[in-house]
Amino acid sequence: MHATSGLLQAATDPRWFECAAVRWQELVLDHANCEKKAASTALSLMFAYPEDFELADRMSRLAREELRHFELVQQKLRTLGVPFRRLSPARYADGLRKSLRRTEPGRCIDLLLTGALIEARSHERFVGLIPRLDEPLAAFYDSLAAAEYRHAGLYLRLAEQRGEGTVERLAALAAVEAELATSPDPEFRFHSGTPA
């Protein structure tokens, strides 16, 4: 855990994991949305900074991996017979978006740092879910956890290569992220706060 160990400022409350074990159908449905959104976020960075070939290449590869995961989550939903439902998005992504700086190069750095935080949170939750879910979901999340960890490191490295003072900025964004991920939340989602 060396590269991303210090990223998260608060651990997910055990009540979130207990809720997830019971409401696993919503968990997996929302997980499909998250993989799709992760691909979309990577793509939006490619559109926003097309002159940065290295960033575009990394984001393109990342988006492909997220899409592959999306396909696997959809297959899981099918084999487990989970009926489709549209789920409203969690407050999480929107809350993080509000904290981004509006001018460049700060905005790009903030997008990359929040990318790192989201992936680190996903990794933390995957790891915590494994012992609490039944098969085949436990094995499924086990198979995906390492990728989230790797993605967090990638985003962090890209941010560090592109900006100075990322350490202080990371701390500020991580505080927002920790609040969103752990304060009471009336809704249950993959990235929701502690069940209210």
Q: Give the separation between CA 118 and CA 123, rounded to whole angstroms.
A: 9
Cα→Cα distances 16→27, 134, 162, Å: 11, 16, 35
Q: With binding defined as CB under 8 A, does residue 140 bind a copy of itself? A: no
Least distance to a copy of itself, CB of residue 70, Å: 5
Q: Using the 8-state DSSP alphabet, how is residue 12 labeled?
A: P
Q: Which residues contact 106 (CB under 8 A, 6 or more apart)?
A: 163, 169
Q: Which is nearer to a copy of itself, 32 or 117 (CB)?
A: 32
Residue 69, burial from CB neighbour count under 10 angstroms (0-12, 13-18, 19+): buried
User: For a copy of itself, which stretch binds (CB under 8 A), given 28-36, 151-159, 162-170, 181-189?
Assistant: 28-36
Least distance to a copy of itself, CB of residue 95, Å: 20
Q: Which of 188, 7, 23 is nearest to 114 (CA)?
A: 7
User: Taken in order 17, 65, 119, 186, is the CA torsion positive or negative?
Assistant: negative
**What would the x/- binding string for a copy of itself be over residues 47 to 86, using CB under 8 A?**
x--xx-x--xx--xx-xx--xx-xx--x--xx-----x-x
117, 154 Cβ separation under 8 angstroms:
no
**What would the x/- binding string for a copy of itself be over residues 176 to 195, using CB under 8 A?**
--------------------
Q: With binding defined as CB under 8 A, does residue 88 bind a copy of itself? A: no
Least distance to a copy of itself, CB of residue 119, Å: 18
User: Site residues (CB under 8 A) for a copy of itself?
Assistant: 32-33, 36, 39-40, 43, 46-47, 50-51, 53, 56-57, 60-61, 63-64, 67-68, 70-71, 74, 77-78, 84, 86
